[in-house]
Structure 1
Amino acid sequence: MTVSIDSAPARTGTGRLIIVLGGLSAVSPFAIDMYAPGFPEIVGSYGTSKTAVQLSLTACLIGLAIGQIVIGPLSDAMGRRRLLLAGSGMFTVFSLVCAVAPTITVFDLARLLQGVAGGAGIVIGRAVVSDRFTGTHAARRLTTLSVIGSTAPVLAPVAGGLILDIGSWRLVFVALALTGLLLLLAVRAWVPESLPAERRRTGGLRAVFAAMGGLLRRRELVGYLLVMGCGLGALFAYISGSPFVFQNIYGLSPTGYSLVFAANAVGTVAAGTVFGRLAGRVRLNSLLAVGVAITVVSLAALVGLLSLGISTFPTTWACLFGLTTGFGLLLPASTTIILAVGGDAPGAASGLLGGAQFVLGAAAAPLPGVLGNTTAMSTAVVVLGCSLIAAVALVALARPWQGHGEPAGQS
């Protein structure tokens, strides 16, 4: 059912639906880095290198990208519910495989497949909202999912650190499997099919992916995709490099590292809350520009301090807090704009959105390890580079002053 812009959606089941979609939007981002506080333990467990362990994070990101790029447009042709059920079930299975993986090779492969399966929940969740709601009602619910998705990767290591206090890193993946099972049952009970057969895209897979190609011919959409993807790249480079920065260089314990992450998560949550309150009153493009500016300034300051040899644990922490705060504006703003610009093919637009997020995130995540984790500079340089590319894409391609994707009356 599609709701007109001037009418409120039916209340029956809507609250439960959004709760389930929110859970689906959170569980895969949680899976990306919930085990990050255990990176040093995993290195010892498998007798492997830091870079090899960081590649497991990259494998999950690649899987999430593949899953969303493929499953998003497929759901435009096949419907949402059965793909969502299949994805939730396979996420549960591969989380258990991660928990018992005997070698780093098996672990990395399971992480890749866990990501592919988890991509279904993210991409189809957004498409379900686009199916059922329009106008301001859709924007509010997409904002909710975006804020959940943006805070989950920052909160996940905090939860992982708590689990590591009572067990090994493998217990993290048992917890993810149990969460996946609960979401599978919730989808079965409370998420009906939202795309009836008569509204599905016809013409087979060729037509489905042709719609995606048509979206990629829009300059402004490509710009917003790059802004959002490079923002995620900056975040995941920070996530993959920070365990070694804070634990190996600054000497924090896994619990201490989790507390630092928790404090940084406050910035993301606060910025997401501000975004939710201002969306509809302040231009989305203005909020996006502010988020990008905060990330660039924060990381430029960190690189400058490190270059001068005067950066300390508090200054490094403060600059990275700026990164997570800016991200709390950047992701929900760019997500809402992208889905509005690509609203004629919501599954394809959602797939491109997720693909850009996690392809660029996967490319950036291992770079701090490749450059060496002996100082904080390797992580800082990668994160700043991603932020600068996002800023260039915003100005050169997205051109926010043109008001793309704004609700009526705000462009």
Structure 2
Amino acid sequence: MLRTGLVLGLLALVGPFAIDMYLPALPRIAEDFGTSETAVQMTLTGYFIAFGLAQMIYGPMADRYGRRLPILLGLAVFTLGSLGATLAGSVESLVAWRAFQGLGGAALMVVPRAIVRDMYTGPEATKLMAMIMLVIAVSPMLAPLAGSGVIAVSGWRMVFAVLCVLAVLALILTVTLQPETLPAERRTPISPRALLHGSAHLLRDGGFMGLTLIGGFGMASFFVFIASAPFVYVTQFGLTPTGFSIAFAVNAIGFFTASQMAGYLGEKLGMRRLVRFGIFGFSGFALALLGAALAGQATLIAIAVLLFLANACLGVVIPTTMVLALDDHGEHAGLASSLGGTLQMLAGGLMIALAGPFFDGTALPMIGAIALCAVIALCLTLAMLPGRIEAVQGS
């Protein structure tokens, strides 16, 4: 399990690095192109939306052709997108090439989830998913620091050149270390009718939709923070790119530490009960932060501490909801993984777009959007999961 977790985690790391590594450059990109902060945030929105929609392609492809081919194709597309972003001459061009990156990076999110489902279920799958999350958690801690170093030496365009190199390394890793986990006899043909039928079945499944959207709005709070924090920390609190990178990394520590306890806590408490407890904690800390902001007490320390605690709660929610959403759909793990990933990424892109018009460079709009994500996740938990949680509280 250790080797599988490391390989899948390193593959899944490419997508988050494409987000986190260039965050310190967002204010400089706005300055270089002579455009607004909201326009530059569209480079993230475009990435997230393309990333989400493309999962509907890679999931069925993974069920039909196996797990390795979609990964290789996604890495090729991601590499081309990174090259285009390196040479972008306008913010509109950068948005387009970032979306192209997202089209490739999606494979590296959806296919590893399906591989986990091929190999394990239940708490064992949660442990492997948490191990993957541990590797991914390196991204928000190291990628912004690496990006600020690259930017200081060579400018923001070199960040995308580095991402090209990272994609090539991931390609080599896939070819040499990742075996195929879906044998030919278990593969299913691709047909529009089957996809529509399978998607409709999943969309009508209350447990699948509830777990997917609960995790999705938890992830959406990350996306809002990612899109807003570079400007808030630099503009309102006066941090340097390196200072921002350190502050950003602190917020990730709570998530990755808690995620490593998800499998153990799932065995002790029941996995669905764990989701409920985690969402209660996340919403409580997010609303406390909103209260502090409305009272004019949202200092840098207060934001860092309360987001640390909120993200720690999400650390047990997100890997657990990913596993539970797929548990009853092993025969269509690729489609279920891709549809779940699409819904989650669209939720993130939607929240960024909704928060954009209110963004003014201060912390309050960012905190308000995060609190809104928490309230939606809490309402979904109360409305869609209580019966299932209590019926299977030992599971």
Counting only pairs closer than 5 Å after superposition, residues 173-212 of structure 1 correspond to structure 2 as 173-202=160-189, 204-212=191-199
Residue 259 (structure 2) aligns with: 272
**Counterparts of 1:392 and 1:370 in 2: how far apart (Å)?**
25
Counterpart for residue 340 of structure 2: 353
Equivalent residue for 1:161?
148
AA aligned to 2:51 is L
Q: Percent identity?
A: 33
Contact 1:32 1:153 in 2 (8 A): no
- Judged with a 3 Å threshold, the aligned counterparts in structure 2 of structure 1 residues 400 and 379 are, in CA distance, closer, same or farther, namely farther
Residue correspondence of structure 1 range 7-406 to structure 2 within 5 A: 15-134=2-121, 136-149=123-136, 152-153=139-140, 156-202=143-189, 204-399=191-386, 402=389
Q: Secondary structure of 1:344's partner?
A: helix
- Residue 123 of structure 1 and its aligned partner are, at CA, apart by 0.8
**1:200-244 Cα shifts (integer Å, max 9, x gaps):** 123623213422221111112111111011111111111111111
Residue range with higher mean Cα deviation, 142-151 or 232-241: 142-151
Q: State whether residues 76 and 347 of structure 1, in contact with CA within 8 Å, keep that contact through their aligned partners in structure 2.
A: yes
CA distance in 2, matches of 1:305, 1:179: 40
Contact 1:394 1:400 in 2 (8 A): no
Q: Given the two structures, how large is their TM-score scaled by the length of structure 1?
A: 0.89
User: Contact 2:123–2:266 at 8 Å: present in 1 too?
Assistant: no
Which structure shows the higher helix fraction? 2
Residues of 2 paired with 1:313 and 1:237: CA distance? 17
**Partner SS, residue 267 of structure 2:** coil
In the alignment, is the contact (CA less than 8 A) between 1:341 and 1:405 conserved in 2? no
Q: Pick closer, same or farther for the CA change 1:190–1:355 going to 2, 3 Å.
A: same
* C-alpha spacing 1:182/1:346, structure 2 compared with 1 (3 Å): same
1:53-85 deviation line (CA, Å, top 9, x unaligned) = 101001110111012122112221232222221
Q: Give deviations 1:368-387, integer Å, cap 9, x for gaps.
A: 43202232111111110111
Structure 2 stretches of 5 or more lacking a match?
Answer: none
Structure 1 alignment gaps of length 5 or more: 1-13
Distance change in 2, residues 1:292/1:158 (3 Å): farther
Cα distance in structure 1, aligned partners of 2:356 and 2:34: 16
* 1:362 partner SS: helix
CA contact (8 A) 2:63 2:187 kept: yes
In structure 2, relative to structure 1, the CA distance for the partners of 1:135 and 1:242 (3 Å cut) is closer
Given residue 16 of structure 2, which amino acid in structure 1 is its aligned partner? P
Distance 1:65 1:126 in 2: 14
Q: How many residues align?
A: 395
Cα RMSD (Å): 2.2
Q: Counterpart of 1:122 in structure 2: which amino acid? A: M
Stretch moving more, 158-167 or 322-331: 158-167
Please give the per-residue CA displacement for 1:232-286, whole angstroms capped at 9, x wherever unaligned.
Answer: 1111111111111111011111111111112112111211122244343332223
**Amino acid corresponding to residue 173 of structure 1 in structure 2:** F
- In 2: Cα distance, 1:400 partner to 1:238 partner: 32
Deviations 1:123-178 (A, max 9, x none): 11111222234555444323322444466456543432343343322222122111
Measured after TM superposition, the shift of residue 16 of structure 1 is 4.3
Native 8 Å contact 2:126 2:262 kept in 1 = no
Letter in 2 for 1:222: M
Q: Residues 155, 332 of structure 1: CA spacing in aligned structure 2 closer, same or farther, 3 A cutoff?
A: farther
Distance 2:255 2:279 in 1: 13
The letter for the 1-side match of 2:223 is F
Residues 163 and 171 in structure 1, CA contact (< 8 A), matched pair in contact too: yes
> Runs ≥4 in structure 1, deviation > 6 angstroms?
none
Q: Given that residues 147 and 332 in structure 1 are in contact (C-alpha distance below 8 angstroms), is that contact kept between their aligned partners in structure 2?
A: no
In structure 1, how many angstroms separate the alpha carbons of the residues matched to 2:370 and 2:73?
35
Q: 1:133 to 1:329 in 2, by over 3 A?
A: closer
